[in-house]
Amino acid sequence: MRIKFLLVAIFCAVSGFAQSVNDYKAVIVPLKYDFMKTENQYRMSTMSKVNLTKAGFQAFYVNEELPADLGDRCQLLYMDVRKESGFLITKLFVEFKDCYGKIVYTSEVGKSKEKDYETAYRESLNMAFISVNGLHYKYSGKAITSTNRTAAAVTAPAVMVAAAPAPATNNLVVVAPSPDLKDPNLLYAQPTESGYQLIDKTPKVVMKLLKTSQTNVFIAIKDNVQGSLILKEDGQWYFESYQNDKLVSEKIVVKF
- pLDDT tens digits for range 145-192: 665 555 444 444 443 434 444 444 443 444 556 777 778 888 888 888
Band (pLDDT 50/70/90 cuts) for residue 96 is very high
Q: What is the pLDDT of residue 176?
A: 58
Mean pLDDT, residues 27-54 taken together: 93
- pLDDT tens digits for range 69-85: 888 888 999 999 999 98
- pLDDT tens digits for range 226-242: 889 999 888 889 999 88
d(CA 177, CA 237): 10
Are the C-beta atoms of 110 and 124 separated by less than 8 Å?
yes
Q: What is the pLDDT of residue 7?
A: 44
Q: Tell me the average pLDDT of the chain.
A: 81
Q: Give the domain ranges of the chain.
A: 16-133, 176-255
Mean pLDDT, residues 122-134 taken together: 96
- CA 103 to each of CA 18, 80, 157, 206: distance values in angstroms, whole numbers, following the listed order: 10, 10, 19, 19
- pLDDT tens digits for range 182-223: 788 888 888 888 888 998 888 888 999 998 888 889 999 998
Identify the residue with better confidence: 127 or 173. 127
Neighbours of 230 (CB within 10 A): 18
DSSP the chain: -HHHHHHHHHHHHHHTT---GGG-SEEEE-S--TT-SSTTGGGHHHHHHHHHHHTT--EEETTSPPPGGG-SGGGEEEEEEEEE--TT-EEEEEEEE-TTS-EEEEPPPEEE--SSHHHHHHHHHHHHHHHHHTT----------HHHHHHHHHHS-----PPPPPPP--S----PPPP-TT-TT-EEEEE-SSEEEEE-SS--EEEEEEE-SSTTEEEEEETTEEEEEEE-TTS-EEEEEEETTEEEEEEE-EE-
**CATH of 16-133 among 3.40.50, 3.40.190, 3.30.70, 3.10.450:** 3.40.50
